[in-house]
């Protein structure tokens, strides 16, 4: 038997893990990446990076850039949801299509960004964020489709029997049970999709032509300028934004579907 630890211990260890990483980061930065003249190399110390994050946070230009990326991410995210829901309706009507829907999702997840991006850029006008939207869409589509399909399967046979035994038809079953039972799996997919969409939109900016703002653009321009502290600050900000997206949906899920943790439904894989 394992001795029972206080609830505090895991939190402390988690904090310890963060500390270990910060210390290693600091040591690597100071001993491996500091130039003889004392300026920082490709890995600046954490404090310098976080100071820059604080400075970036009060700079409206950074907010505009991250906002633009997030906007493209949101557009792709919403289209992916619409596509997944449409496929869900198809599968509901024709269950045979389930394998086909899954494979569309697999293809979307497999398509390499460097292959699809040049084409999107080729076919969209200069300055368009279409490539960010497409990459966000592709990054989100697979988890969304899986979420919808899991949601359709979340209803137990007993729950359907119950509806039918009392004379409820297919529509009643969908309205009263199936849609609500699908919510946890859907929310779980939305949660996973949020950071993935931001990832896609940010990566898209590496390929976009005539787009000057955005988190990805900032990262590239700072790389050209050799502003390593700035790059790390953007990386930290982008991490925070996508973690925020995840967290907001996780909170919303707790409020919208409080039964999730207690039923066998929900979750991917």
Partner 1 sequence: MTDTGVQLSALTRSFTSRAGTVQAVSDVDLQTPKGSFLSLLGPSGCGKSTILRILAGLDTPTSGEATVHGLSPAELRKEKSLGVAFQDHALLPWRSVEKNVRFPFEVAGVPVDKAWVSELLGLVGLESFADAKPWQLSGGMRQRVSIARALALRPSVLFLDEPFGALDDMTRQRLNLELQRLWMEQEATTVMVTHGIQEAVFLSDYVAVMSPRPGTIKEVIEIDLPRPRTIDLMSTPEFHHYVDRATQLLFH
Partner 2 sequence: MSARRLPRWAVTLLTTLVTLVVLLAGWQLAITLTDVSPYLTKTPLDVWNYLFVDGAFDPASAAERRAELLPMIGVTLFHAGVGLAFGVSLGLVGAVVMSVSRTVRATFLPIALVLQTVPLIAMAPVVYAVFGSGVVTAAVIAGVVTFFPLLMNVGAGLGAAGGDTVDLVRAYGGGRLRLLFSVQLPSALPYLFAGLKIAAPATVSAATLYEFLFSFEGLGANLLTSKSYSDYGLLWTLVATTIALALAAYGLVVLLERLVLAGRFPPESALARRGDSR
Site residues, partner 1 (CB under 8 A): 156-159, 161-168, 172, 176-177, 180-181, 183, 257-259, 262-263
Nearer to partner 1, 46 or 168 (CB): 168
Interface pick for partner 2 out of 74, 85, 92, 106 (rule CB under 8 A): 106
Nearer to partner 2, 41 or 175 (CB): 41
Minimal distance in Å, beta carbon 258 to partner 2?
22
Which region, judged by CB under 8 A, interacts with partner 2, from 165-173, 174-182, 217-225, 258-266?
Answer: 217-225
In this structure, the number of other CB atoms found within 10 A of the CB of residue 128 comes to: 17
- 46's contact among partner 2, partner 1, none, with CB below 5 to 8 A by partner kind, is none
- 268's contact among partner 2, partner 1, none, with CB below 5 to 8 A by partner kind, is none
Minimal distance in Å, beta carbon 252 to partner 1?
15
Where do contacts with partner 2 occur on this chain (CB under 8 A)?
Answer: 2, 9-10, 13-14, 16-18, 20-21, 33, 42-43, 96, 99-100, 103-104, 106-107, 109-119, 121-123, 153, 157, 192, 195-196, 198-199, 202-203, 206-207, 215-216, 219-220, 223, 228, 231-232, 235, 238-239, 242-243, 246, 269
């Amino acid at each position: 038997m394992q001795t029972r630890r206080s609830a505090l211990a895991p939190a402390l260890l988690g904090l310890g893990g963060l500390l270990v990483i910060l210390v290693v980061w600091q040591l690597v930065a100071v001993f491996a990446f500091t130039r003889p003249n004392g300026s920082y190399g490709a890995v600046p110390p954490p404090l310098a990076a976080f100071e820059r994050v604080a400075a970036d946070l009060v700079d409206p230009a950074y907010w505009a850039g991250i906002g633009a990326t997030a906007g493209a991410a949101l557009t792709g995210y919403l289209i992916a949801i619409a596509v997944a829901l449409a496929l869900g309706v198809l599968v509901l009507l024709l269950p045979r299509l389930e394998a086909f829907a899954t494979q569309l999702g697999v293809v979307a997840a497999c398509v390499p960004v460097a292959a699809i991006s040049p084409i999107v850029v080729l076919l969209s006008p200069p300055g368009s964020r279409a490539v960010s939207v497409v990459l966000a869409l592709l990054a989100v589509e697979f988890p969304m489709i899986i979420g919808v399909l899991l949601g359709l399967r979340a209803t137990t046979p007993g729950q359907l029997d119950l509806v039918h035994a009392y004379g409820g038809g297919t529509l009643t079953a969908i309205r009263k049970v199936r849609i609500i039972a699908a919510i946890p799996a859907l929310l779980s997919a939305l949660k996973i999709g949020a950071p993935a969409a931001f990832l896609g939109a940010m990566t898209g900016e590496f390929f976009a032509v005539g787009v000057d703002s955005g988190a990805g653009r900032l990262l590239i321009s700072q790389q050209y300028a050799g502003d390593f502290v700035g790059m790390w600050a953007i990386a930290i900000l982008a991490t925070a934004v996508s973690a925020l997206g995840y967290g907001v949906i996780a909170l919303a899920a707790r409020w919208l579907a409080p039964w999730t943790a207690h039923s066998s439904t929900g979750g991917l894989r």
